[in-house]
Structure 1
Amino acid sequence: MSAASPSYIDTYYRRTLASGESYPPAEGPIKTEVCIVGGGLAGLTAALELARAGRSVVLLEAERIAWGASGRNGGFVSPGYATSLAAIERQAGRDQADELYRLTMEGVDIVRHNIESLGIVDAAPSPGIMRVVRHDGGAALQQERDAQEKRFGRNLRYLDREATRALLSSPKYHAALADDDAFHFHPLNYARGLAREITRLRGTIHEGSPVLAAELDGPIKRLRTARATIEAEQVLFTTGGYTGNLFAPLKRAFLPIATYVLLTEAAPELIGEAIRTSAGVGDDRRAGDYYRLVEGGSRILWGGRITTRTTEPRNVAALLRHEMVTTYPQLEKLKVELAWSGLMSYARHLMPQIGQYRPGVWYCTAFGGHGMNTTAAGGTVIAEAIRGENDRYRLFAPFGLVWNGGPFGTAAVQLTYWRYQAADALRERQR
């Protein structure tokens, strides 16, 4: 790519890219059946499913493939949504909540199948994710394990305090649920593997091609970039936290929320004193930490904290390192090599927003908090709908494009997060 072309920010994933292929900006008049705006994992999954069905598809990405949250996240692939199953059931009813949850289990299988069938070895999937509690909640975890097995057939393992601390040598942890069927991986290499398959199937991808204007009325939709005009029968918007004002209903329907990730220096012996499992780990706080070992256990990838700030704070590494060291005091001397942030999109109801805005205009977005399975499931069901195969996307109808509250919504999210932090801290002190 030329010097003026967009590039990835400095992250662990950029430093460990498996390949360097790029895709040219869109130029001239282009005609296609489906135009997808947004090159994150939802857009890539939808494009792949459409290309597999023989549909002509053009994907437009303003920066690089998976440039935003899709290529900067923790890489955890496990069932569930950002909100609880109980909250979904209150909104949609038990039967629909069950279908929605099973769809996230399908999303995990979709990612796994794509890695295996496409030979994306550099996605480097590693099995196992543990959810740990920072208070004495063992009885509740056992009840959850039993309920998940009965309701969804999931096989989760309960670990008591002794078993948990044998793997995670932290005084903060009291018990855990281990999901051996979940996994963690390199999301940027995975995304680029999907892109390669899309182009192999004669789909078209254009990077560095932000859409500047869109005419969405009528049977033929027209989108304009700096150097191209695209005509399409169907348009799908899969933009996330970096969405601009192109499609106002989306911009008003979710909030960009920042999260942060750090990479430690290589220190396998020191890290091994604290963390003795290759499984990914996330705690039970409502805005808790998540982390996993990379490079054969020699480094830690540690994420956490959320904020409505859209600019990266200068002390992001110090903030995350404080969380790491208070969890594992034995890591006091472990240095941080790199830290970065990324914007996720959250709806007020904390569910993905997936649907049809008007005939031929679709949206598939707001995957913040649990995006690796839900982008796969969402991209798949919206592709099915565009192909006219089924209407599974309607499962998300109770969770539509609800107004985000504008600046009041942003303030409410930040205040809620601070309230959660205070409640979590009080709960830990009372354990």
Structure 2
Amino acid sequence: MTEHTESYYAASANEYAPFPALTESIHCDVCVVGGGFTGLSSALHLAEQGYDVVVLESARVGFGASGRNGGQLVNSYSRDIDVIESSYGADAAKMLGSMMFEGGEIIRERISRYRIDCDYREGGLFVALNHRQMSTLEEQKANWERYGNSQLTLLDEEAIGREVASERYVGALLDRSGGHIHPLNLAIGEAQAIKLNGGRIFEQSPVVKIEHGSPAIVKTAHGQVTARYVLIAGNAYLGDKLEPKLAKRSMPCGTQIVATAPLPADVAKKLIPANYCVEDCNYLLDYYRLTADNRLLYGGGVVYGARDPDDVERLIVPKMLKTFPQLEGVKVDYRWTGNFLLTMSRMPQFGRLENNIYYMQGYSGHGVTCTHLAGRLIAEALRGDAERFDAFARLPHYPFPGGRNLRIPFTAMGAAYYSLRDRLGV
């Protein structure tokens, strides 16, 4: 059996009765492949609308990035609206911009409606390490306000010094519609909500084959699901063999996180007094926040190709101490990695392999909120209103330069270039 990685989240997860493995042949309206946020959000929206839904998860609910990420509710996409407008045109920007803040709203609605205990805290900071980055945040504020976000405040150097006990930053953008959560507990809560609405979830049931047709047949080692529709939502954990077309234009990447031992309450309060989550503006960004039990959870860096680095602590703790040198000597209790799926455009990839086989993937490190939007969009599409789903599906899905064999070194070279620019402040 494949269990959760040894993370802080797994150690502090809410208890739930494990879902069974699939051992028979069953039928349903929609079979969802993948029990992360994309699959869970989709299944919950569909089950609420009366669809008979089956979720197949190869390990445990929230096993992948959904249960391992930084837990930050960050609005928009991995490419912001100004880039979308310049790359895809005003019409695409208008449609995608109208949805930029919807994912976070869906999460808050889910937490409230189903009383999900996942340590939700309001507010997120984008912090600038230099004046060039601060100028970018000023532009971001103007762009987001054009699309309806009225909860933004620019902070100067003195103000950010009151919000984060670090001398690294020249300013920040506070988004009060952002926030942070215990992501694995959100996933568990959403899975229980699916069950409450009549959906069926099977864990430890990796899909080995999808037979296209009408209906489609989704096979596991010990059972199969015959479905009117299939949604492929495996993201970085889908692998290259199940649907090779989806693997050609994406690349799994790893990120690393540590969680300290619990800090004294007064120490934690001094680090981030308002308990916001924080991410910097570098290309290879750092992100951090406090947990409910006063640990500092700190993550950053990217491993292209999703290899597990030998020593997560060695990679991340120097970053943490550069931000908070006052934590020198603090014990690290947990260290782990998680994979997300990167696309060449950094935009999510939605589409259809057949008229009844859909996919949603590739949030490029920006998936907590966008996955929840995705669930609403697929439910709209299956109901017959595909306008918003197709706004994403029409975006081009570019292959990585050099094909699958060279995508890792080429992407790493590009990242090294932008990382140098970050260090030089240009």
TM > 0.5: yes
1:226 counterpart residue number:
221
1:241 counterpart residue number:
236
Deviation at 1:73, TM superposition (A): 0.2
Q: Does the 8 Å contact 1:25/1:209 carry over to 2?
A: yes
Code of the residue aligned with 1:231 in structure 2: it is T
Code of the residue aligned with 2:292 in structure 1: it is E
Alignment partner of 1:315 is 2:311: yes
Q: 2:415 aligns with which of 411, 414, 417?
A: 417
Q: Over residues 378-430 of structure 1, what are the superposed CA-to-partner deviations in whole Å (9 max), with x where a residue is unaligned?
A: 12101211222343111113434433431211111111111121110111xx8
Q: Which moved more, 1:392-401 or 1:25-34?
A: 392-401
1:123 counterpart residue number:
118
The CA RMSD measured in Å over matched residues stands at 1.6
Code of the residue aligned with 1:111 in structure 2: it is I
Q: Does the 8 Å contact 1:271/1:331 carry over to 2?
A: no
User: 1: CA distance between counterparts of 2:80 and 2:334?
Assistant: 32
Code of the residue aligned with 2:99 in structure 1: it is L
Q: 1:199 to 1:283 in 2, by over 3 A?
A: same
User: 2: CA distance between counterparts of 1:153 and 1:177?
Assistant: 13
Code of the residue aligned with 1:235 in structure 2: it is V
Q: Over residues 215-271 of structure 1, what are the superposed CA-to-partner deviations in whole Å (9 max), with x where a residue is unaligned?
A: 11x311112111102111111100111112111111212100100111011222444
SS in 2 for 1:198: helix
1:304 counterpart residue number:
300
Instruction: List, as ranges, runs of 4+ consecutive aligned residues in structure 1 with deviation greater than 3 Å.
Output: 137-144, 269-275
1:276 counterpart residue number:
273
Q: 1:147 to 1:29 in 2, by over 3 A?
A: closer
Q: Over residues 54-94 of structure 1, what are the superposed CA-to-partner deviations in whole Å (9 max), with x where a residue is unaligned?
A: 11111101011110001000111121111232221123212
User: 1: CA distance between counterparts of 2:48 and 2:267?
Assistant: 47
User: 1: CA distance between counterparts of 2:100 and 2:147?
Assistant: 14
SS in 2 for 1:152: coil
Give matches, 1:59-138, under 5 Å.
59-120=55-116, 122-137=117-132, 138=134
Q: Over residues 322-344 of structure 1, what are the superposed CA-to-partner deviations in whole Å (9 max), with x where a residue is unaligned?
A: 00111222222222111100110
2:38 counterpart residue number:
42
Code of the residue aligned with 2:277 in structure 1: it is G
Q: 1:355 to 1:423 in 2, by over 3 A?
A: same
Code of the residue aligned with 1:232 in structure 2: it is A
Q: Over residues 334-391 of structure 1, what are the superposed CA-to-partner deviations in whole Å (9 max), with x where a residue is unaligned?
A: 2211110011001111111112221101001112311111000112101211222343
Q: Does the 8 Å contact 2:180/2:277 carry over to 1?
A: yes
User: 1: CA distance between counterparts of 2:136 and 2:365?
Assistant: 22
Q: 1:289 to 1:27 in 2, by over 3 A?
A: same
Unaligned runs of 5+ in 1: none
User: 1: CA distance between counterparts of 2:156 and 2:286?
Assistant: 20
Give matches, 1:339-378, under 5 Å.
339-378=335-374
Q: 1:385 aligns with which of 381, 385, 388?
A: 381
Q: Does the 8 Å contact 2:287/2:299 carry over to 1?
A: yes
User: 2: CA distance between counterparts of 1:411 and 1:86?
Assistant: 28
Q: 1:10 aligns with which of 1, 6, 12?
A: 6
Unaligned runs of 5+ in 2: none
User: 2: CA distance between counterparts of 1:194 and 1:414?
Assistant: 35
Number of residue pairs aligned between Structure 1 and Structure 2 = 421
SS in 2 for 1:10: coil
User: 2: CA distance between counterparts of 1:275 and 1:231?
Assistant: 50
2:332 counterpart residue number:
336
Q: Does the 8 Å contact 2:119/2:292 carry over to 1?
A: no
1:293 counterpart residue number:
290
Q: Over residues 281-310 of structure 1, what are the superposed CA-to-partner deviations in whole Å (9 max), with x where a residue is unaligned?
A: 0001011100001125x2101111011142
Code of the residue aligned with 1:283 in structure 2: it is D
Q: 1:143 to 1:226 in 2, by over 3 A?
A: closer
User: 1: CA distance between counterparts of 2:139 and 2:54?
Assistant: 47
What is the aligned-residue identity percentage? 32
TM-score of the aligned structures, taking structure 2 as reference length: 0.95
1:399 counterpart residue number:
395
SS in 1 for 2:411: helix
Q: Does the 8 Å contact 2:125/2:174 carry over to 1?
A: yes
Q: 1:311 to 1:299 in 2, by over 3 A?
A: same
Q: Which moved more, 1:309-318 or 1:179-188?
A: 309-318
SS in 1 for 2:40: helix
SS in 1 for 2:249: coil
Q: 1:142 aligns with which of 138, 145, 164?
A: 138
Deviation at 1:319, TM superposition (A): 1.0
Q: Does the 8 Å contact 2:97/2:147 carry over to 1?
A: no
2:23 counterpart residue number:
27
Code of the residue aligned with 2:275 in structure 1: it is S
User: 2: CA distance between counterparts of 1:162 and 1:253?
Assistant: 44
1:195 counterpart residue number:
191
Q: Does the 8 Å contact 1:291/1:302 carry over to 2?
A: yes
User: 2: CA distance between counterparts of 1:185 and 1:344?
Assistant: 18
Deviation at 1:316, TM superposition (A): 1.1
User: 1: CA distance between counterparts of 2:149 and 2:331?
Assistant: 42
User: 2: CA distance between counterparts of 1:334 and 1:260?
Assistant: 18
SS in 1 for 2:99: helix
1:173 counterpart residue number:
169
Q: Does the 8 Å contact 2:252/2:339 carry over to 1?
A: yes
Deviation at 1:213, TM superposition (A): 1.4
TM-score of the aligned structures, taking structure 1 as reference length: 0.94
Q: Does the 8 Å contact 1:50/1:387 carry over to 2?
A: no
SS in 1 for 2:365: coil
User: 2: CA distance between counterparts of 1:56 and 1:295?
Assistant: 36
Q: Does the 8 Å contact 1:264/1:338 carry over to 2?
A: yes
User: 2: CA distance between counterparts of 1:101 and 1:12?
Assistant: 34
Code of the residue aligned with 1:204 in structure 2: it is R
1:208 counterpart residue number:
204
